[in-house]
Structure 1
Amino acid sequence: MEISLFSFGLLALVIVMTPGPTVLLALSNGSRFGMAYAGYGIAGAAISDGVLIAAAALGLGAVLVTSAVLFNLVKWIGVAYLVWLGIQMLRSSGELGLETNRANVRCAIPSRRALAIFRKSFFVAVTNPKGYLFFTAFLPQFLNPMEPLLTQYATLAGIFIAIDVMVMTAYAGLGTKAMQLLNDSGALWIDRTCGALLISLGCALALVRRSDV
Protein backbone atom coordinates (compact mmCIF):
# COMPACT_ATOMS: atom_id res chain seq x y z
CA MET A 1 0.00 0.00 0.00
CA GLU A 2 2.88 2.35 0.85
CA ILE A 3 4.42 1.83 -2.61
CA SER A 4 1.04 2.47 -4.23
CA LEU A 5 0.59 5.70 -2.28
CA PHE A 6 4.12 6.79 -3.14
CA SER A 7 3.42 6.20 -6.84
CA PHE A 8 0.16 8.10 -6.53
CA GLY A 9 1.96 11.00 -4.90
CA LEU A 10 4.60 11.18 -7.65
CA LEU A 11 1.99 11.09 -10.40
CA ALA A 12 -0.13 13.67 -8.61
CA LEU A 13 2.92 15.95 -8.33
CA VAL A 14 3.61 15.72 -12.07
CA ILE A 15 -0.06 16.37 -12.87
CA VAL A 16 -0.41 19.33 -10.51
CA MET A 17 2.85 20.95 -11.63
CA THR A 18 1.52 21.11 -15.20
CA PRO A 19 0.18 24.67 -15.51
CA GLY A 20 -3.61 24.77 -15.55
CA PRO A 21 -6.29 27.37 -14.74
CA THR A 22 -5.91 27.24 -10.94
CA VAL A 23 -2.12 27.42 -11.19
CA LEU A 24 -2.35 30.44 -13.49
CA LEU A 25 -4.70 32.13 -11.06
CA ALA A 26 -2.33 31.40 -8.17
CA LEU A 27 0.56 32.95 -10.12
CA SER A 28 -1.50 36.02 -11.00
CA ASN A 29 -2.86 36.43 -7.47
CA GLY A 30 0.60 36.13 -5.99
CA SER A 31 2.01 38.73 -8.37
CA ARG A 32 -0.76 41.27 -7.82
CA PHE A 33 -1.81 40.80 -4.22
CA GLY A 34 0.86 38.84 -2.39
CA MET A 35 0.72 35.51 -0.59
CA ALA A 36 -2.11 36.45 1.78
CA TYR A 37 -4.49 37.04 -1.09
CA ALA A 38 -3.24 34.09 -3.12
CA GLY A 39 -4.06 31.91 -0.11
CA TYR A 40 -7.78 32.44 -0.65
CA GLY A 41 -7.49 31.18 -4.21
CA ILE A 42 -5.40 28.22 -3.09
CA ALA A 43 -8.06 27.37 -0.50
CA GLY A 44 -10.74 27.52 -3.19
CA ALA A 45 -8.77 25.19 -5.45
CA ALA A 46 -8.12 22.77 -2.57
CA ILE A 47 -11.81 22.57 -1.72
CA SER A 48 -12.63 22.04 -5.39
CA ASP A 49 -10.25 19.06 -5.36
CA GLY A 50 -12.31 17.58 -2.55
CA VAL A 51 -15.52 18.17 -4.47
CA LEU A 52 -14.15 16.56 -7.64
CA ILE A 53 -12.83 13.53 -5.80
CA ALA A 54 -16.09 13.11 -3.88
CA ALA A 55 -18.01 13.35 -7.15
CA ALA A 56 -15.75 10.72 -8.73
CA ALA A 57 -16.25 8.44 -5.73
CA LEU A 58 -20.03 8.83 -6.10
CA GLY A 59 -19.88 7.99 -9.81
CA LEU A 60 -20.58 11.42 -11.30
CA GLY A 61 -17.74 10.98 -13.79
CA ALA A 62 -19.47 7.90 -15.20
CA VAL A 63 -22.71 9.88 -15.48
CA LEU A 64 -20.92 12.60 -17.48
CA VAL A 65 -19.56 9.99 -19.86
CA THR A 66 -23.01 8.52 -20.50
CA SER A 67 -25.03 11.76 -20.57
CA ALA A 68 -24.31 14.02 -23.53
CA VAL A 69 -26.62 16.72 -22.16
CA LEU A 70 -24.96 16.87 -18.73
CA PHE A 71 -21.46 16.65 -20.20
CA ASN A 72 -22.07 19.52 -22.62
CA LEU A 73 -23.79 21.60 -19.94
CA VAL A 74 -20.81 21.37 -17.59
CA LYS A 75 -18.36 21.81 -20.47
CA TRP A 76 -19.89 25.00 -21.85
CA ILE A 77 -20.25 26.52 -18.41
CA GLY A 78 -16.55 25.81 -17.94
CA VAL A 79 -15.66 27.26 -21.33
CA ALA A 80 -17.63 30.44 -20.68
CA TYR A 81 -16.09 30.87 -17.24
CA LEU A 82 -12.51 30.37 -18.43
CA VAL A 83 -12.95 32.79 -21.33
CA TRP A 84 -14.64 35.35 -19.06
CA LEU A 85 -11.78 35.15 -16.55
CA GLY A 86 -9.24 35.46 -19.35
CA ILE A 87 -10.94 38.55 -20.77
CA GLN A 88 -11.06 40.14 -17.31
CA MET A 89 -7.32 39.57 -16.92
CA LEU A 90 -6.60 40.93 -20.41
CA ARG A 91 -8.50 44.07 -19.45
CA SER A 92 -6.55 44.40 -16.20
CA SER A 93 -4.91 47.74 -15.54
CA GLY A 94 -2.04 45.96 -13.83
CA GLU A 95 -2.69 47.88 -10.62
CA LEU A 96 -1.21 46.06 -7.64
CA GLY A 97 -3.34 45.16 -4.66
CA LEU A 98 -0.46 45.79 -2.28
CA GLU A 99 -0.15 48.65 0.16
CA THR A 100 3.51 49.52 0.56
CA ASN A 101 5.28 51.49 3.26
CA ARG A 102 8.95 51.85 4.18
CA ALA A 103 8.88 49.10 6.77
CA ASN A 104 7.08 46.31 5.00
CA VAL A 105 4.62 45.26 2.34
CA ARG A 106 1.12 44.38 3.43
CA CYS A 107 -1.83 43.01 1.61
CA ALA A 108 -5.16 44.77 2.04
CA ILE A 109 -7.81 42.08 2.07
CA PRO A 110 -11.37 43.39 1.86
CA SER A 111 -13.81 40.57 2.43
CA ARG A 112 -15.43 41.00 -1.00
CA ARG A 113 -12.15 40.74 -2.83
CA ALA A 114 -11.06 37.72 -0.78
CA LEU A 115 -14.35 36.00 -1.57
CA ALA A 116 -13.95 36.82 -5.27
CA ILE A 117 -10.45 35.29 -5.33
CA PHE A 118 -11.74 32.16 -3.56
CA ARG A 119 -14.75 31.87 -5.86
CA LYS A 120 -12.73 32.16 -9.07
CA SER A 121 -10.35 29.34 -8.19
CA PHE A 122 -13.16 27.13 -6.91
CA PHE A 123 -15.50 27.49 -9.86
CA VAL A 124 -12.79 27.28 -12.52
CA ALA A 125 -12.18 23.70 -11.35
CA VAL A 126 -15.70 22.46 -10.63
CA THR A 127 -17.02 23.68 -13.99
CA ASN A 128 -14.47 21.62 -15.93
CA PRO A 129 -15.85 18.16 -16.83
CA LYS A 130 -12.33 16.87 -17.50
CA GLY A 131 -11.63 17.13 -13.77
CA TYR A 132 -14.47 14.75 -12.91
CA LEU A 133 -13.49 12.33 -15.64
CA PHE A 134 -9.82 12.49 -14.71
CA PHE A 135 -10.40 11.51 -11.10
CA THR A 136 -12.92 8.87 -12.15
CA ALA A 137 -10.27 7.18 -14.31
CA PHE A 138 -7.20 7.96 -12.18
CA LEU A 139 -8.16 7.14 -8.59
CA PRO A 140 -9.48 3.55 -9.04
CA GLN A 141 -6.01 2.45 -10.17
CA PHE A 142 -4.82 2.98 -6.59
CA LEU A 143 -7.80 1.43 -4.80
CA ASN A 144 -7.95 -2.02 -3.26
CA PRO A 145 -11.52 -3.33 -3.69
CA MET A 146 -10.98 -5.65 -0.72
CA GLU A 147 -10.54 -2.71 1.67
CA PRO A 148 -13.00 0.05 2.70
CA LEU A 149 -13.28 2.42 -0.27
CA LEU A 150 -14.29 5.47 1.75
CA THR A 151 -11.08 5.38 3.76
CA GLN A 152 -9.00 4.91 0.62
CA TYR A 153 -10.70 7.79 -1.22
CA ALA A 154 -10.16 10.02 1.82
CA THR A 155 -6.47 9.09 1.93
CA LEU A 156 -5.94 9.75 -1.77
CA ALA A 157 -7.86 13.02 -1.51
CA GLY A 158 -5.68 14.14 1.39
CA ILE A 159 -2.49 13.37 -0.51
CA PHE A 160 -3.64 15.05 -3.72
CA ILE A 161 -4.91 18.17 -1.95
CA ALA A 162 -1.69 18.50 0.08
CA ILE A 163 0.41 18.29 -3.09
CA ASP A 164 -1.87 20.71 -4.93
CA VAL A 165 -1.65 23.26 -2.10
CA MET A 166 2.14 22.90 -1.98
CA VAL A 167 2.56 23.42 -5.74
CA MET A 168 0.13 26.34 -5.95
CA THR A 169 1.82 27.99 -2.98
CA ALA A 170 5.11 27.72 -4.86
CA TYR A 171 3.58 29.30 -7.98
CA ALA A 172 2.00 32.09 -5.91
CA GLY A 173 5.35 32.65 -4.20
CA LEU A 174 7.01 32.85 -7.61
CA GLY A 175 4.54 35.54 -8.61
CA THR A 176 5.16 37.46 -5.38
CA LYS A 177 8.94 37.27 -5.82
CA ALA A 178 8.60 38.45 -9.40
CA MET A 179 6.81 41.56 -8.24
CA GLN A 180 9.68 42.44 -5.92
CA LEU A 181 11.74 42.87 -9.07
CA LEU A 182 9.08 44.27 -11.39
CA ASN A 183 6.71 47.23 -11.26
CA ASP A 184 3.07 47.76 -12.20
CA SER A 185 3.86 47.06 -15.84
CA GLY A 186 5.18 43.66 -14.79
CA ALA A 187 1.88 42.85 -13.09
CA LEU A 188 0.09 44.00 -16.22
CA TRP A 189 1.98 41.60 -18.45
CA ILE A 190 1.67 38.70 -16.01
CA ASP A 191 -2.08 39.26 -15.97
CA ARG A 192 -2.28 39.52 -19.74
CA THR A 193 -0.19 36.41 -20.27
CA CYS A 194 -2.27 34.41 -17.79
CA GLY A 195 -5.45 35.82 -19.32
CA ALA A 196 -4.44 34.75 -22.81
CA LEU A 197 -3.58 31.27 -21.53
CA LEU A 198 -6.94 30.97 -19.76
CA ILE A 199 -8.75 31.88 -22.98
CA SER A 200 -6.66 29.30 -24.83
CA LEU A 201 -7.58 26.67 -22.23
CA GLY A 202 -11.23 27.64 -22.63
CA CYS A 203 -11.02 27.22 -26.40
CA ALA A 204 -9.29 23.85 -25.97
CA LEU A 205 -12.03 22.75 -23.58
CA ALA A 206 -14.66 23.76 -26.15
CA LEU A 207 -13.16 21.23 -28.57
CA VAL A 208 -13.28 18.36 -26.07
CA ARG A 209 -15.81 15.62 -26.82
CA ARG A 210 -17.00 12.81 -24.61
CA SER A 211 -15.22 10.29 -26.82
CA ASP A 212 -11.92 12.12 -26.22
CA VAL A 213 -11.90 11.69 -22.44
Structure 2
Amino acid sequence: MALDIYFLYLGVVAVFFATPPDTSQLLIISNSIRHGLRRSVYTAAGDLSANCVQMVAAAFGLAAIIATSATAFHLIKWFGVAYLAWIGLQLILAKEDATGRTTRASGTPARLFQQGFVTSMANLFAVVFFGALFPQFINPASPVVPQLFVLGLTYLVIDGVILLLWGWLGIRAARALRRRSLGLVNKICGGLMIAAAGLLAGKDLQPHS
Protein backbone atom coordinates (compact mmCIF):
# COMPACT_ATOMS: atom_id res chain seq x y z
CA MET A 1 0.00 0.00 0.00
CA ALA A 2 1.36 3.38 -1.00
CA LEU A 3 2.10 5.76 1.85
CA ASP A 4 -0.05 8.55 0.44
CA ILE A 5 -3.05 6.19 0.24
CA TYR A 6 -2.46 5.12 3.84
CA PHE A 7 -2.35 8.73 5.03
CA LEU A 8 -5.55 9.43 3.13
CA TYR A 9 -7.13 6.47 4.91
CA LEU A 10 -6.00 7.88 8.27
CA GLY A 11 -7.66 11.18 7.40
CA VAL A 12 -10.93 9.51 6.43
CA VAL A 13 -11.02 7.48 9.66
CA ALA A 14 -10.16 10.58 11.72
CA VAL A 15 -13.07 12.48 10.14
CA PHE A 16 -15.37 9.53 10.85
CA PHE A 17 -14.51 9.67 14.55
CA ALA A 18 -14.71 13.48 14.77
CA THR A 19 -18.32 13.29 15.92
CA PRO A 20 -20.22 13.34 19.24
CA PRO A 21 -20.00 10.05 21.20
CA ASP A 22 -21.76 7.12 19.57
CA THR A 23 -23.36 4.06 21.14
CA SER A 24 -20.15 2.26 22.13
CA GLN A 25 -18.54 5.45 23.37
CA LEU A 26 -21.52 6.26 25.60
CA LEU A 27 -21.26 2.74 26.98
CA ILE A 28 -17.59 3.09 27.91
CA ILE A 29 -18.23 6.52 29.46
CA SER A 30 -20.93 4.97 31.63
CA ASN A 31 -18.78 2.00 32.65
CA SER A 32 -15.79 4.24 33.36
CA ILE A 33 -17.89 6.41 35.67
CA ARG A 34 -19.21 3.38 37.54
CA HIS A 35 -16.25 1.01 37.52
CA GLY A 36 -13.14 3.02 36.67
CA LEU A 37 -11.01 3.22 33.54
CA ARG A 38 -9.12 -0.03 34.22
CA ARG A 39 -12.30 -2.12 34.26
CA SER A 40 -13.80 -0.25 31.31
CA VAL A 41 -10.89 -1.57 29.22
CA TYR A 42 -12.86 -4.84 29.12
CA THR A 43 -15.75 -2.95 27.53
CA ALA A 44 -13.37 -1.53 24.92
CA ALA A 45 -11.99 -5.04 24.31
CA GLY A 46 -15.51 -6.36 23.72
CA ASP A 47 -16.24 -3.54 21.29
CA LEU A 48 -13.02 -4.07 19.33
CA SER A 49 -13.56 -7.84 19.24
CA ALA A 50 -16.96 -7.27 17.66
CA ASN A 51 -15.32 -4.93 15.14
CA CYS A 52 -12.92 -7.74 14.21
CA VAL A 53 -15.86 -10.05 13.53
CA GLN A 54 -17.54 -7.33 11.46
CA MET A 55 -14.38 -6.74 9.43
CA VAL A 56 -14.07 -10.45 8.65
CA ALA A 57 -17.74 -10.51 7.65
CA ALA A 58 -17.18 -7.54 5.35
CA ALA A 59 -14.09 -9.20 3.84
CA PHE A 60 -16.15 -12.29 2.99
CA GLY A 61 -18.73 -10.18 1.19
CA LEU A 62 -21.43 -10.41 3.86
CA ALA A 63 -21.91 -6.64 3.79
CA ALA A 64 -24.00 -6.93 0.62
CA ILE A 65 -26.12 -9.70 2.14
CA ILE A 66 -26.76 -7.67 5.28
CA ALA A 67 -27.60 -4.59 3.23
CA THR A 68 -30.32 -6.53 1.41
CA SER A 69 -31.66 -8.37 4.46
CA ALA A 70 -33.71 -5.73 6.23
CA THR A 71 -35.43 -8.25 8.50
CA ALA A 72 -32.21 -9.68 9.94
CA PHE A 73 -30.73 -6.21 10.31
CA HIS A 74 -33.71 -4.89 12.25
CA LEU A 75 -34.01 -7.98 14.46
CA ILE A 76 -30.39 -7.69 15.59
CA LYS A 77 -30.58 -3.92 15.91
CA TRP A 78 -33.69 -3.96 18.10
CA PHE A 79 -32.21 -6.70 20.26
CA GLY A 80 -29.30 -4.33 20.91
CA VAL A 81 -31.68 -1.44 21.62
CA ALA A 82 -33.61 -3.53 24.15
CA TYR A 83 -30.36 -4.77 25.75
CA LEU A 84 -29.02 -1.25 26.28
CA ALA A 85 -32.35 0.09 27.50
CA TRP A 86 -32.60 -2.79 29.98
CA ILE A 87 -29.15 -2.01 31.39
CA GLY A 88 -30.09 1.66 31.65
CA LEU A 89 -33.34 0.96 33.49
CA GLN A 90 -31.54 -1.39 35.90
CA LEU A 91 -29.12 1.40 36.79
CA ILE A 92 -31.82 4.04 37.18
CA LEU A 93 -33.94 1.78 39.42
CA ALA A 94 -31.01 0.48 41.51
CA LYS A 95 -31.48 1.15 45.26
CA GLU A 96 -28.96 2.51 47.73
CA ASP A 97 -28.46 0.95 51.15
CA ALA A 98 -27.98 2.86 54.38
CA THR A 99 -24.32 3.54 53.62
CA GLY A 100 -25.15 5.12 50.27
CA ARG A 101 -23.90 2.16 48.27
CA THR A 102 -26.02 0.64 45.57
CA THR A 103 -27.29 -2.88 46.09
CA ARG A 104 -26.00 -4.08 42.72
CA ALA A 105 -22.50 -5.51 42.55
CA SER A 106 -19.86 -3.97 40.34
CA GLY A 107 -19.62 -5.36 36.86
CA THR A 108 -17.29 -8.30 36.34
CA PRO A 109 -14.74 -8.26 33.49
CA ALA A 110 -16.81 -10.86 31.63
CA ARG A 111 -19.99 -8.79 31.96
CA LEU A 112 -18.25 -5.59 30.86
CA PHE A 113 -16.72 -7.39 27.88
CA GLN A 114 -20.14 -8.79 27.00
CA GLN A 115 -21.71 -5.34 27.09
CA GLY A 116 -19.10 -3.96 24.71
CA PHE A 117 -19.33 -6.94 22.35
CA VAL A 118 -23.13 -7.12 22.19
CA THR A 119 -23.54 -3.37 21.80
CA SER A 120 -21.09 -3.22 18.91
CA MET A 121 -22.37 -6.39 17.21
CA ALA A 122 -25.93 -5.07 17.33
CA ASN A 123 -24.84 -2.29 14.98
CA LEU A 124 -24.73 -4.21 11.70
CA PHE A 125 -24.22 -0.92 9.89
CA ALA A 126 -20.55 -1.39 10.81
CA VAL A 127 -20.28 -4.41 8.50
CA VAL A 128 -21.66 -2.37 5.62
CA PHE A 129 -19.36 0.51 6.59
CA PHE A 130 -16.24 -1.67 6.50
CA GLY A 131 -17.40 -3.28 3.28
CA ALA A 132 -17.68 0.15 1.67
CA LEU A 133 -14.57 1.70 3.26
CA PHE A 134 -11.80 -0.85 2.77
CA PRO A 135 -12.13 -1.42 -1.01
CA GLN A 136 -11.53 2.31 -1.58
CA PHE A 137 -7.97 1.98 -0.28
CA ILE A 138 -6.98 -1.47 -1.58
CA ASN A 139 -4.72 -1.91 -4.59
CA PRO A 140 -6.07 -4.98 -6.44
CA ALA A 141 -2.68 -5.47 -8.10
CA SER A 142 -1.11 -6.24 -4.70
CA PRO A 143 -1.94 -9.02 -2.21
CA VAL A 144 -5.27 -8.12 -0.64
CA VAL A 145 -5.02 -9.86 2.74
CA PRO A 146 -2.00 -7.88 4.01
CA GLN A 147 -3.71 -4.64 2.98
CA LEU A 148 -6.91 -5.63 4.79
CA PHE A 149 -4.83 -6.47 7.85
CA VAL A 150 -3.15 -3.05 7.86
CA LEU A 151 -6.42 -1.18 7.30
CA GLY A 152 -8.25 -3.19 9.95
CA LEU A 153 -5.49 -2.96 12.54
CA THR A 154 -5.17 0.79 12.00
CA TYR A 155 -8.91 1.25 12.51
CA LEU A 156 -8.86 -0.85 15.69
CA VAL A 157 -5.94 1.10 17.17
CA ILE A 158 -7.59 4.45 16.47
CA ASP A 159 -10.94 3.22 17.76
CA GLY A 160 -9.33 1.79 20.91
CA VAL A 161 -7.50 5.03 21.69
CA ILE A 162 -10.66 7.09 21.21
CA LEU A 163 -12.68 4.72 23.40
CA LEU A 164 -10.12 5.05 26.21
CA LEU A 165 -10.12 8.85 25.82
CA TRP A 166 -13.89 8.87 26.27
CA GLY A 167 -13.44 6.58 29.27
CA TRP A 168 -10.91 9.01 30.75
CA LEU A 169 -13.40 11.84 30.33
CA GLY A 170 -15.92 9.65 32.15
CA ILE A 171 -13.45 9.29 35.05
CA ARG A 172 -13.10 13.07 35.26
CA ALA A 173 -16.87 13.37 35.49
CA ALA A 174 -17.02 10.60 38.09
CA ARG A 175 -14.78 12.52 40.48
CA ALA A 176 -17.40 15.23 40.77
CA LEU A 177 -20.40 12.90 40.75
CA ARG A 178 -19.17 10.55 43.48
CA ARG A 179 -18.90 13.44 45.92
CA ARG A 180 -22.68 13.55 45.86
CA SER A 181 -24.25 10.10 45.65
CA LEU A 182 -23.66 6.73 44.02
CA GLY A 183 -27.38 6.71 43.35
CA LEU A 184 -26.96 9.84 41.23
CA VAL A 185 -24.05 8.16 39.43
CA ASN A 186 -26.27 5.19 38.57
CA LYS A 187 -29.07 7.41 37.30
CA ILE A 188 -26.71 9.38 35.08
CA CYS A 189 -25.10 6.18 33.78
CA GLY A 190 -28.54 4.68 33.20
CA GLY A 191 -29.47 7.79 31.23
CA LEU A 192 -26.34 7.35 29.11
CA MET A 193 -27.34 3.75 28.36
CA ILE A 194 -30.83 4.78 27.31
CA ALA A 195 -29.32 7.52 25.14
CA ALA A 196 -27.07 4.87 23.57
CA ALA A 197 -30.15 2.72 22.92
CA GLY A 198 -31.76 5.70 21.22
CA LEU A 199 -28.71 6.21 19.00
CA LEU A 200 -28.71 2.55 18.01
CA ALA A 201 -32.45 2.70 17.30
CA GLY A 202 -31.77 5.49 14.84
CA LYS A 203 -29.15 3.49 12.93
CA ASP A 204 -30.01 2.23 9.47
CA LEU A 205 -28.13 1.02 6.43
CA GLN A 206 -27.72 4.45 4.92
CA PRO A 207 -24.07 5.58 5.08
CA HIS A 208 -24.67 8.87 6.89
CA SER A 209 -23.62 7.89 10.43
TM range (shorter): 0.7 to 0.9
Q: 1:31 to 1:72 in 2, by over 3 A?
A: closer
8 Å contact 1:62–1:133 — kept in the other structure?
A: yes
After TM superposition, the runs of 4+ consecutive aligned structure 1 residues lying more than 4 A away are 92-97
1:37 is displaced (CA, Å) by 0.6
**1:146 and 2:146 aligned:** no
1:185 is displaced (CA, Å) by 5.5
| TM-score normalised per structure 1 | 0.81
8 Å contact 1:80–1:202 — kept in the other structure?
A: no
Q: 1:197 to 1:96 in 2, by over 3 A?
A: farther
Q: 1:20 to 1:133 in 2, by over 3 A?
A: same
CA distance in 2, matches of 1:135, 1:113: 31
> Which segments of 5 or more consecutive residues in structure 2 lack a partner in the other structure?
none
User: Which letter maps to 1:74?
Assistant: I
User: Which letter maps to 2:168?
Assistant: G
Identity %: 29
Q: 1:79 to 1:181 in 2, by over 3 A?
A: closer
Query: Tell me, what secondary structure is at the counterpart of 1:128?
Result: coil
User: Which letter maps to 2:74?
Assistant: N
Q: Hey, what does 1:103 align to over in structure 2?
A: none
| TM-score normalised per structure 2 | 0.82
> Which segments of 5 or more consecutive residues in structure 1 lack a partner in the other structure?
98-107
Per-residue CA deviations over 1:170-193 (Å, capped at 9, x if unaligned) read 111111122223323552353143
Per-residue CA deviations over 1:120-139 (Å, capped at 9, x if unaligned) read 11111112121111111111
Aligned length, in residue pairs? 197
CA distance in 2, matches of 1:89, 1:120: 14
CA distance in 2, matches of 1:85, 1:16: 25
1:152 is displaced (CA, Å) by 0.9
8 Å contact 2:66–2:124 — kept in the other structure?
A: yes
Q: 1:156 to 1:96 in 2, by over 3 A?
A: farther
**1:182 and 2:154 aligned:** no
**1:194 and 2:196 aligned:** no
Q: Hey, what does 2:14 align to over in structure 1?
A: 13
What do you get for the CA RMSD once the two structures are aligned? 2.5
